[in-house]
Structure 1
Amino acid sequence: MIRPLLAALFFCAAGTALAHGNVQCPASPKAEWKPHTELQAKLIKEGWTVRRMEVTPTCYEVYGKDPQGKRIEAFFDPKTLERVEEK
Structure 2
Amino acid sequence: MKRIVTLSAMALALCASFAASASDKCQAGPKDQWQPKEALEKKLGAEGIKVKRIKVEDGCYEVYGTDAKGKHIEQYYHPKTLDVVKPRG
TM-score (norm 1): 0.67
65-74 or 45-54: which moved more? 65-74
Q: CA deviation at 1:57?
A: 4.6
Q: Which residue of 2 aligns with 1:9?
A: none
Gaps spanning 5+ residues in structure 1: where? 1-20
Q: Which residue of 2 aligns with 1:35?
A: 36
Structure 2 CA distance, aligned partners of 1:67 and 1:33? 27
Which amino acid in structure 2 is aligned with residue 74 of structure 1? Q
Q: Which residue of 1 aligns with 2:50?
A: 49
Which amino acid in structure 2 is aligned with residue 85 of structure 1? K
Gaps spanning 5+ residues in structure 2: where? 1-20
Which amino acid in structure 1 is aligned with residue 79 of structure 2? P
Higher helix residue share: 2
Instruction: Tell whether the 8 Å contact from 2:64 to 2:75 is kept in structure 1 after alignment.
Output: yes
Structure 2 CA distance, aligned partners of 1:24 and 1:85? 9
Q: Which runs of 4+ in 1 moved over 2 A?
A: 66-69
Q: CA deviation at 1:26?
A: 2.6
TM-score (norm 2): 0.65
Q: CA deviation at 1:66?
A: 2.3
RMSD: 2.1
Instruction: Tell whether the 8 Å contact from 2:28 to 2:79 is kept in structure 1 after alignment.
Output: no
Larger radius of gyration: 2
- What is the percentage of aligned positions where both structures have the same residue? 45
May I ask how many residue pairs the two structures share in their alignment? Answer: 67
Q: Which residue of 2 aligns with 1:70?
A: 71
